[in-house]
Structure 1
Amino acid sequence: MEYLSFNGVSPTVHESAFVARGAVLIGDVTVGEQSSVWFNAVLRGDNEPITIGAQSNVQDGCVLHTDPGFPTVVGNRVTTGHNVVLHSCRVDDTATIGMGATVLNGAVVGEGAMVAANALVLEGFEIPPGTLAAGVPAKVRRDLTEADIDRFRQNAGGYVERSRLYLKGAG
């Protein structure tokens, strides 16, 4: 892991969070309680803040960045799959972003929503809470079931447990 200051601002990582080797956090980045940032993820808060809530995971190879005037905010218990790009957007609590998806400036992923793998969420698009969005460009496809949303919560919890193991010496 590498933490770099930018314009006098350094990343802040909660003591219970896990940041893997090879991950790079730059500038105004905050990682919340029991959250995890996995191998080779890059969080570059050199324009605006990047905030990761509690018990969220940013998986291997993700890139989080911002444009001036557009922070990136990730809520609590959010799963961000491998190789996701989050750029100046908001992802609300218990949402899941599938592997390889891209979410652009000003987009909002509502609470408990899911963005399917490889989807492209265009600038300013809002995905309502509890829905699935898929495609290029992403469109809302259906409402999610409670079972779907429970599975997302369990997945986020699994990453909290996995990060505990790494904090004990595997990382």
Structure 2
Amino acid sequence: MTWLISIEGHTPKLADDVFVAPGSHLIGDIEIGAGSSIWYNCVLRGDVNRIRIGARTNVQDGTVIHVDSPKPGTEAGLPTIIGDDVLIGHMVMLHGSILHDRALVGLGSIVMDGCIIESDGMLAAGAMLTPGKVIRERELWVGRPAKFLRMLSDSEVAGNKLGVAHYVENARQHKAALGL
């Protein structure tokens, strides 16, 4: 079962073709764009701030996305804003961060408050991006805590784009198999 839960007058808003897999919970102020997919057993909790996810983005199995509430120094709090064509690996933790178009967050990674991953930037599997860090365009960061390793090649960037197309099609197949 998938849960779409309203809180504080906010109800998740999904484009008509978004795939939300069974076991997922979407709570509060969330908007998800066309062709995106939320895979099995994810939790997106927009209870104290907003979550925005663009088009054709995939949030893979077991991922948790949350936000940070307003407080002194961050009066608006920290929403989680995710662009178009973003790949978010299995079991990722995103909290009050921004992922620009075509960013990639590897399996089991953690992206903490105030972090930004720019377009075509990549955080490797298992890495932890500590508060306030910025991964610039086409940079690859690795480790715990994450540090810059190198620039991504043209073929790696192209491969990530193929991954986006794969997940859009895979979501269609799962949706059909589930009769959604």
* Alignment TM-score, normalising by the size of structure 2: 0.93
- 1:150 corresponding residue in structure 2: 158
Highest Rg: 1 or 2? 2
1:21 maps to 2:44 = no
Mean Cα deviation higher: 161-170 or 7-16: 161-170
What residue identity is the alignment partner of 2:172? R
What are the Cα deviations for residues 121-152 of structure 1, in whole angstroms up to 9, with x where unaligned? 01100001101000111011100011101111
Q: Secondary structure at the match of 1:151?
A: helix
- 1:35 corresponding residue in structure 2: 36
Q: Secondary structure at the match of 2:140?
A: strand
- 2:53 corresponding residue in structure 1: 52
Q: 2:103 & 2:154 partners in 1: Cα distance?
A: 13
- 1:9 corresponding residue in structure 2: 10
How far is the alpha carbon of 1:169 from its aligned partner? Answer: 3.1
Q: Give the unaligned 5+ runs of structure 2.
A: 70-76
- 1:166 corresponding residue in structure 2: 174
Q: Secondary structure at the match of 2:45?
A: strand
How far is the alpha carbon of 1:74 from its aligned partner? Answer: 0.8
Q: Give the unaligned 5+ runs of structure 1.
A: none
Moved over 2 A (4+): none
Percent of residue pairs bearing the same amino acid type: 39
How far is the alpha carbon of 1:83 from its aligned partner? Answer: 0.2
1:128 maps to 2:136 = yes
What are the Cα deviations for residues 82-117 of structure 1, in whole angstroms up to 9, with x where unaligned? 000000000111111000000001100110011001
Q: 1:170 & 1:11 partners in 2: Cα distance?
A: 21
Q: 1:115 & 1:152 partners in 2: Cα distance?
A: 12
Q: 1:128 & 1:114 partners in 2: Cα distance?
A: 9
How far is the alpha carbon of 1:170 from its aligned partner? Answer: 3.2
How far is the alpha carbon of 1:167 from its aligned partner? Answer: 2.2
Q: 1:110 & 1:148 partners in 2: Cα distance?
A: 16
Q: Secondary structure at the match of 1:3?
A: strand
Q: 2:135 & 2:47 partners in 1: Cα distance?
A: 27
Would you say how many aligned residue pairs link Structure 1 and Structure 2?
171
What are the Cα deviations for residues 6-48 of structure 1, in whole angstroms up to 9, with x where unaligned? 1111001110110000000000011110000000000000011
* Alignment TM-score, normalising by the size of structure 1: 0.98
1:76 to 80, 84, 90: 84
1:112 maps to 2:120 = yes
